[in-house]
Amino acid sequence: KVRTAILISGRGSNMQSLVEAAQADDYPAEIVLIASNRPDAAGLDWAKARGLPTLAIDHKKYKTRDVFEAALQDALAAAGTELVALAGFMRLMTSDFVEHWRDRMINIHPSLLPSFKGLHTHERALAAGVKIAGCTVHFVRTEMDEGPIIGQAAVPVLSGDDPATLAARVLAAEHRLYPASLKLVASGLARVEGEKVITLHESNPGLPI
């Protein structure tokens, strides 16, 4: 099994969906560390209560981004991490960190990339009047919310939606897409070729089967 660390900053519901998927005997990834840059992240409590290995690395206690990332790298190495999954991790990484984990670090973003990168995605999707929203799992590159796309899932935008109702519908899709995408990566069925992901098994883990 591929030794996978999950990085969070808050609620951790995507982390939970990965942890739960990884409990299956035939799942190709095992979760070896759940780390947060915020000691008060609710997701850490959930993981601790289940006896999972957790760590808080409070970014405010480090003078620079480099020393914060050095501490994070040490923790990842100590856990024998082979793959990193960002799950609501809200710190930008330096290009050194990102390059170290090139093609071995994935992220979930609550929009159909390349649309609506960055924060407040649901507000901006509603303001733009799109009729389809969704989420994307991608390999991480230095530019925010950029990188080869592993999978996407789509949901409808309904006429009465506000940012909260749309976010909830997208989040339910995230909880299906992320475990399916990590499975493809950890099993070696998805690999990067020419900055696109070639999937040997199925074209998009977000599609209903």
- Contacts to ligand GAR by CB under 6 A: 8, 10-14, 43, 87-88, 108-110, 171, 174
**Least distance from C-beta 142 to ligand GAR, angstroms?**
14
Minimum distance between the CB of residue 90 and ligand GAR, rounded to whole angstroms?
A: 7
E-strand spans in the chain?
2-8, 29-36, 54-56, 83-86, 105-109, 132-139, 149-156, 190-193, 196-199
109 given a catalytic annotation: yes
Nearer to ligand GAR, 58 or 74 (CB): 58
Is the CB of 10 or the CB of 28 nearer to ligand GAR? 10
Nearer residue to ligand GAR within complex by CB, 72 or 87: 87
> Per the annotation, does 17 bind a ligand?
no
Phi-psi group of 89: left, alpha or beta (phi > 0 → left; psi -120 to 50 → alpha; rest → beta): beta
Q: How many H helices and E strands in the chain?
A: 6, 9
Nearest to ligand GAR of 13, 81 (CB atom)? 13
Helix (H) or strand (E) holding 179: helix 163-186
- DSSP secondary-structure letter at 20? H
The strand ranges marked E within 125-208 are 132-139, 149-156, 190-193, 196-199
Number of residues that this document lists for the chain: 209
Ligand-binding annotation for 151, yes or no, is no
Instruction: Return the structure tokens found at 41.
Output: 């992240």
**Residue in 100, 109, 122, 175 annotated catalytic:** 109
Taking the complex as a whole, the smallest distance from the CB of residue 167 to ligand GAR amounts, in Å, to 7
* Nearest distance, CB of residue 200 and ligand GAR, angstroms: 26
14 annotated as a binding-site residue: yes
Residues making up the annotated binding site are: 12-14, 65, 107
Residues catalogued as catalytic: 109
